[in-house]
Amino acid sequence: MPNKNVFGFRNDNNSWFIGNTPVAFDSDILLIDNEKYTLTDGLLNLLLQENPHEYDNSDLMKYKEILLLTNVHKRNYQKGTQIRSNKSKKYKDIISKLFPPNRVYLKSSSSRSSRSVQRSKNEESEDLEPYDDVNQLVERLRELENANINYVNKCKIMSILKELERLGVIIFDK
């Protein structure tokens, strides 16, 4: 029987994966690439059920983090590829809303002082803020730093930091 849960766990030779990313369990903790997620009932519903219900916004944001970490929502589980769309209720009600098509993409800048970047619609764009130059990204980061810290703002901050790292403006020790 084919795995109908294309946006969650799969078992291969007694090993658990989300996409091609191996996962482990430690009591009520899900371990993915050194990240830990508390397995709430809502998060389990999102990971296990074809038609999840009974989850809250916190569960949904953790699920989105897991999708971004594992690329299980992408074709061939590859970063930078298109979203894997299908006719499932889970795709229609959850995945397509977490990663809506035709969102804002990065614009090119002609200024040499700001890095010029162009991205196609197929590239990883669902987590990016629009900007014309690097200074706008830094300014937006400052605004978010002074805003109320909530999960959405943390995600925006991480998105900006990832983009600044991608552009070579900042380097993280790994």
Give 8-61 pLDDT, tens digit per residue.
898 889 999 999 999 999 999 999 998 999 999 999 999 999 899 899 999 999
Q: What's the distance, Cα to Cα, between the start and end of the chain in Å? A: 40
For every residue of 32-73, DSSP letters joined together read ETTEEEE--HHHHHHHH-SS--S--HHHHHHHHHHHHHH-TT
For CA atoms 56, 38, 91, 64, give the dihedral sign.
Answer: positive
Enter the pTM of the model. Answer: 0.58
| High-pLDDT (> 70) share of the chain, % | 77
